[in-house]
Structure 1
Amino acid sequence: MSPTSPGRPVSPVSPAATEAANQAAVLATTDLEALSGDSAARLPRLLEAMVTIGTGPELHSTFDRIVETAARVADCRYAALGVLAEHRDGLQDFVTCGMTDEQIARISRFPDGKHGLLAVVLGQEEPLRLHDLNADPRACGFPPGHPPMRSFLGLPVRVGGEVFGNLYLTEKRGGGDFTDNDVLLIKILATQAGIAIGNARLHEAARQRERWIDGSAALTTSLLAGDVDNALAVVAEEARWLADSAAGIVLLPTSGENGHGEGGGGGGLEIVAVSADDARGLIGTVVPPGSAVLEQLRGGEPVYIDDAATDPRMVTHVSQRFGPSMMLPLTSGGRVIGTLALPRERGGEPFTEVEKTLAAQFAAQAALALVLADAQRDRERLAVYEDRDRIARDLHDLVIQRLFATGLMLQSTQRRAREPLPGTGSEPGSEPGSEPGSEPGSGSGSAPEPLPGPEPEVSEGIGRAVDELDATIAEIRTAIYALQQQPDEAVAGPRTRVLRETGLAAVPLGFRPSVTFVGPVDVRLPEAATKELVAALREALSNAFRHARASRIEVTVDVTAALPDGSDGVLLTVADDGVGVGAPDAGRRSGMRNLARRAENLGGTASWGPGIGPGGAGTTVVWGAPL
């Protein structure tokens, strides 16, 4: 059993080191002739144990088998294996055998190998055997809840000639001391344990490398398959899972630098994407210019931190939440385009050298994937702009001209309807042949029947039709201007960016969503919330286009709303009359999860319900974040 977290893979041993360990095992067995009859009787158990130790490739399972086997071979009640930390300044892991779960739960802390008898064993080559460990002046006592122990045997476990850790055995059954034969048997077992640990380390390191390689490939596939809008979030989430960290964080240069981290070098780094169980307060945090870590990252060098909460180089409030951390530059073509931060919880295990190397390789691959994804997005945008230009030309050259000609025809018809009937010189409705001002029918001869004139309602209807055509032409001209406008030509305020997104969506949708703003949007919306809101709007419109088959979409941005907890917030509502979320469409549900994650990054929420179609058909997405 193990009271600690699973052991982490460390640097694998070489085949030459494994061969050396095998030779040591052969040498150790030459002393078997000196065993007493009782110890010789334990040889079958020892040989069986040596086979058992190496039966599995999992590193921590190997640790468990070693301590259980050592307790059986030495005939003692308790056994433990202390695993040296990578920098050899204490114990990284402590695996025990013999204690119950209740006893383990009562112990406040397990030894770190820096004090007492465990530190003594770590500092010497030969086994340490004691009749009563409590009487030794080097002992520092037991923590509260620890079971009593007297007899003691400790000896090193070597992997490839290097001390990997130590075996500790206590409480020899029968109340006696550990014998010379016990020491010899455990030394043989320790030799075999070193070989098994070396093999398990190789297996664990290979599995870890395979996991990182698969993760890098999955990231690249995801980004190039079209998940470009969520590229940074995908990088953060994938890296967090691979590094077993508390969070995955992507930072990009602020406005003091250009988009590739070049420029004058006067800007900081802003957190733009987070994957964490609790991401509140992280999005929008800025590492200020002049920070020591910033200079190192800008130079393309990774930063490794033992404890972010206490490191003086970490100057943001975010660092107080984390412990061991890696900050890796996202570099492509000699340019630093951002930073990938992977922090663990406070008190968490430090990153090993293997993990640092694999994470740095992942960061390089992620940077390349981001650059390729940006290039792909640029190509797609170029195709959209070309299509928009074509649509604008068609609208101007064909639709507007035809509408304008139709309007002229209606205006001409309206004027003609108000003129006297041809050939009479009289007003419409008067009798032909009569003098102006004379009574109808006073002329000589029989008067023909009067010709009917147009009704006033007809003229008014024609006028209304002309007005509608004028309004339609004005709206089409506005749409043409919007289609011809490049994104960087407009002021990048929240209102403009929302209108830009709905304008871009009009091309694939076939219609322009209606947009309503409530409150001073440009004044109240901060930049961090604007970025996430625009991204959420883009996701919602994309879902409607790809999955909803909607014919009408209504967008509302309300900065005067109150969130469910009563705090001030912004609400984005996107309602359509499509098929709804209830349809068997995994793609749309995935999009809804993306919306919820964006809201949670800011401490907000996202939900969806019935739409605006007949009988509640369609979907209404409500996305909220605090202000």
Structure 2
Amino acid sequence: MGDRTPEEARERGLPRSPLLPRLLEAVLSVGSDLELRATLQQIIDTATALTAARYGALGVLDPGRGTIRELYVCGMTEEEQAAVGDFPDGHSGLLGALTEAAEPLRSDDMTTDPRAAGLPPGHPPMRSFLGAPIRVHHEVFGNIYLAEKHTGHFTETDAGLLKVLAAQAGIAIGNARLYESARRRERWIEGAAAVTTTLLTGENLSDALTTVAERARILSDAAAGVILQPTGDGGMEIVAADTREDPAGLVGTAIAPGSPVLEQLLGGEAVFIEDSATDPRMTTPVRSRFGPSMMLPLQSGGRLIGTLALPRRRGAHPYGDVDRLLAAQFASQAALALVLADAQQDRERLAVYEDRDRIARDLHDLVVQRLFATEMMLESTRRRAGAGETTELLGRAIDELDSTIQEVRTAIFALQQPPADAPATFRGQVLRETGGAAAVLGFQPSVRFAGAVDALVPEPVGKRLLAALRGALAAAHRRAGVSAIEVVVDATATLPDGRDAVRLTVADDGREPDGSRTPPVVWQAPL
């Protein structure tokens, strides 16, 4: 092939030789950055400079709608951009014609061109126009718009420059997309691994749910990360939330039964919403605070654990296909991690139960029996020794051993109760003791309170009363035939000297060896 003449180059729409070095430099620079936003801005800056245009813009199209989703501008100040207002729709006028065009479009005077739709109020005046579509793998990614060439009208050479640059831009954008997709996948994988590691370190359920919500919010660039769980009436309630701003009103918000969104979630389907504030499927009062959103079921083994919701702020970009896929994969792994963490906590609790049961058996089989045998030997010795100081000492030793046996038996009874978080109130502590005793007794003791026990009973008195209650319940457990126990805590009692007191009464239906009813245990202390 011989060298083309300038005329042949012009006919083929190729740039003349003096511009080739600049074009080559521009092509190389466009492909030098793998960060997509930087690449896009570099493309429009390069195109504007190469064609000597005053204004340049690169519009990124929304794949689903064909409207302009992002706009990268060259030659306009921030004040001028603000005066223009919203993005052009991308459908009408010369901009719309570009999407279907196979070649760059030129116009010497936009004010008289029948294809033009006019400029919006506040837009700088423009006459000459040159535009070209950017295609990525045969898909129109966006368009390059150039206006107001400094030397007059755009030429065929300018169109050839723009065509070459747009083709190279498509390659650069494709590479940048692949790189960005790989980085996003890497971040989601790292996030899912970090959540799994954190959950398996022993966090309680509330903290675990918040951890999932927080990490998902950061990875998805959402305004909030929210966890919902099914309620007893068939609805769903927000139980954990992490937000960039004020989370007020989120936790506790419920989705009523029968909601279309809820039916999809309970069926294990993900829900994707373009605008939470206007979508009729959304019924919660907090929906007005958010825009695009996705709601992903947290399920494992066919069981729905909850829902992960990731709403973005009003006006934010909707989630793309890659975002949805990565978030759904994260939700699946997070659900599995929650199940594993819950199973691990169950195993740890079971280990505690087994250890406590072993200690209780050892105390009963070894310590109590030996103490009881020692008490019997001392009692026999005391009877043979007769009156005197020795008898008195032996009697005191026997009493101490008997008291020790009772304390050990009380400790055994407490060990046999399931461990749980200590209630904050005195009333709750009494109910915890009787509730734990039910697992050992085989029935639930009845409990009655008189007076404002939480306000009147001080902590030291409460501790002694709880110790007395444990001892009374343990004693009742040892007696045969006990099928009912009544516990009364009276904070309105008085002592013989008139002082206010709290009185504990524990009565059961057991019988003494002579057939009489077992007397109730009564314990009282001044307030």
Alignment correspondent of 1:91:
68
- The answer on 1:69 being equivalent to 2:46 is yes
8 Å contact from structure 1 (residues 268, 288) kept in 2:
yes
| Shift in Å, 1:63 | 0.2
State how far apart, in whole Å, the 2-side matches of 1:498 and 1:66 are: 72
SS in structure 2 opposite 1:384?
helix
Name the TM-score, length of structure 1 as normaliser. 0.60
State how far apart, in whole Å, the 1-side matches of 2:405 and 2:327 are: 57
Instruction: Tell me which amino acid in the other structure corresponds to 1:485.
Output: Q
State how far apart, in whole Å, the 2-side matches of 1:481 and 1:84 are: 72
State how far apart, in whole Å, the 2-side matches of 1:116 and 1:520 are: 79
Q: Which of 211, 223, 228 lines up with 1:246 in the alignment?
A: 223
Q: Which moved more, 1:118-127 or 1:165-174?
A: 118-127
| Shift in Å, 1:339 | 1.1
Alignment correspondent of 1:56:
33
8 Å contact from structure 2 (residues 10, 157) kept in 1:
no
State how far apart, in whole Å, the 2-side matches of 1:373 and 1:110 are: 48
Q: Which of 157, 163, 183 lines up with 2:159 in the alignment?
A: 183
State how far apart, in whole Å, the 2-side matches of 1:392 and 1:133 are: 93
State how far apart, in whole Å, the 2-side matches of 1:482 and 1:67 are: 76
SS in structure 1 opposite 2:309?
strand
8 Å contact from structure 2 (residues 105, 130) kept in 1:
yes
SS in structure 2 opposite 1:309?
coil
Q: Which of 282, 295, 298 lines up with 1:330 in the alignment?
A: 298
State how far apart, in whole Å, the 1-side matches of 2:325 and 2:349 are: 36
8 Å contact from structure 2 (residues 15, 158) kept in 1:
no
8 Å contact from structure 1 (residues 35, 181) kept in 2:
no
- The answer on 1:315 being equivalent to 2:283 is yes
- The answer on 1:79 being equivalent to 2:56 is yes
8 Å contact from structure 2 (residues 134, 170) kept in 1:
yes
- The answer on 1:156 being equivalent to 2:156 is no
Q: Which of 227, 230, 235 lines up with 1:268 in the alignment?
A: 235
State how far apart, in whole Å, the 1-side matches of 2:406 and 2:213 are: 46
Alignment correspondent of 1:341:
309
| Shift in Å, 1:150 | 3.2
State how far apart, in whole Å, the 1-side matches of 2:223 and 2:310 are: 7
Alignment of 1:406-485 (within 5 A): 421=388, 470=403, 477-485=409-417
Q: Which of 381, 397, 405 lines up with 2:349 in the alignment?
A: 381
Question: Closer, same or farther in 2 for the Cα pair 1:473/1:383, shift >3 Å?
Answer: same
SS in structure 1 opposite 2:217?
helix
Q: Which of 213, 232, 235 lines up with 1:236 in the alignment?
A: 213
State how far apart, in whole Å, the 2-side matches of 1:469 and 1:63 are: 87
Alignment of 1:122-141 (within 5 A): 122=99, 124-135=101-112, 138-141=116-119
State how far apart, in whole Å, the 1-side matches of 2:124 and 2:211 are: 48
Q: Which moved more, 1:162-171 or 1:312-321?
A: 312-321
Instruction: Tell me which amino acid in the other structure corresponds to 2:156.
Output: D
| Shift in Å, 1:473 | 6.2
Q: Which of 359, 372, 376 lines up with 2:327 in the alignment?
A: 359
SS in structure 2 opposite 1:96?
strand
Instruction: Tell me which amino acid in the other structure corresponds to 1:268.
Output: G
Q: Which of 164, 176, 187 lines up with 1:211 in the alignment?
A: 187
8 Å contact from structure 2 (residues 84, 120) kept in 1:
no
Instruction: Tell me which amino acid in the other structure corresponds to 1:118.
Output: L
Alignment correspondent of 1:221:
197
State how far apart, in whole Å, the 1-side matches of 2:299 and 2:400 are: 59
State how far apart, in whole Å, the 1-side matches of 2:413 and 2:193 are: 42
8 Å contact from structure 2 (residues 109, 129) kept in 1:
yes
Q: Which of 90, 99, 121 lines up with 1:113 in the alignment?
A: 90
Q: Which moved more, 1:186-195 or 1:104-113?
A: 104-113
SS in structure 1 opposite 2:195?
helix
Alignment correspondent of 1:495:
428
State how far apart, in whole Å, the 2-side matches of 1:484 and 1:120 are: 80
Instruction: Tell me which amino acid in the other structure corresponds to 1:377.
Output: Q
8 Å contact from structure 2 (residues 371, 401) kept in 1:
no
SS in structure 1 opposite 2:60?
strand
| Shift in Å, 1:234 | 1.9
SS in structure 2 opposite 1:314?
coil
State how far apart, in whole Å, the 2-side matches of 1:368 and 1:294 are: 21
Alignment correspondent of 2:23:
46
- The answer on 1:142 being equivalent to 2:120 is yes
State how far apart, in whole Å, the 1-side matches of 2:412 and 2:387 are: 42
Instruction: Tell me which amino acid in the other structure corresponds to 1:139.
Output: A
Question: Closer, same or farther in 2 for the Cα pair 1:270/1:38, shift >3 Å?
Answer: closer
SS in structure 2 opposite 1:133?
coil
Question: Closer, same or farther in 2 for the Cα pair 1:486/1:126, shift >3 Å?
Answer: same
Q: Which moved more, 1:35-44 or 1:84-93?
A: 35-44
Question: Closer, same or farther in 2 for the Cα pair 1:401/1:63, shift >3 Å?
Answer: same
Alignment correspondent of 1:299:
267
Question: Closer, same or farther in 2 for the Cα pair 1:33/1:400, shift >3 Å?
Answer: same
State how far apart, in whole Å, the 2-side matches of 1:304 and 1:285 are: 19
SS in structure 2 opposite 1:275?
strand
Instruction: Determine which structure has greater relative contact order: mean sequence separation of CA pairs < 8 Å that are 6+ residues apart, divided by chain length.
Output: 1
SS in structure 1 opposite 2:226?
strand
Question: Closer, same or farther in 2 for the Cα pair 1:492/1:358, shift >3 Å?
Answer: farther
| Shift in Å, 1:142 | 3.4
Deviation track 1:95-123 (CA, whole Å, cap 9, x = no partner) reads 11122345445554443435554344345
State how far apart, in whole Å, the 1-side matches of 2:310 and 2:140 are: 30
State how far apart, in whole Å, the 2-side matches of 1:474 and 1:30 are: 113
Question: Closer, same or farther in 2 for the Cα pair 1:388/1:110, shift >3 Å?
Answer: same
Alignment length (residue pairs): 428
Identical residues among aligned pairs (%) = 57
Q: Which of 249, 253, 259 lines up with 1:285 in the alignment?
A: 253
State how far apart, in whole Å, the 2-side matches of 1:30 and 1:233 are: 69
State how far apart, in whole Å, the 1-side matches of 2:226 and 2:405 are: 49
Question: Closer, same or farther in 2 for the Cα pair 1:268/1:62, shift >3 Å?
Answer: same
Unmatched 5+ stretches in structure 2: 1-5, 437-451, 456-527
8 Å contact from structure 1 (residues 211, 242) kept in 2:
yes
SS in structure 2 opposite 1:189?
helix
Question: Closer, same or farther in 2 for the Cα pair 1:173/1:496, shift >3 Å?
Answer: farther
SS in structure 2 opposite 1:280?
coil
State how far apart, in whole Å, the 1-side matches of 2:454 and 2:27 are: 72
SS in structure 1 opposite 2:120?
coil
Alignment correspondent of 2:448:
none
| Shift in Å, 1:197 | 0.8
Question: Closer, same or farther in 2 for the Cα pair 1:480/1:415, shift >3 Å?
Answer: same
SS in structure 2 opposite 1:42?
helix
Instruction: Tell me which amino acid in the other structure corresponds to 1:273.
Output: A
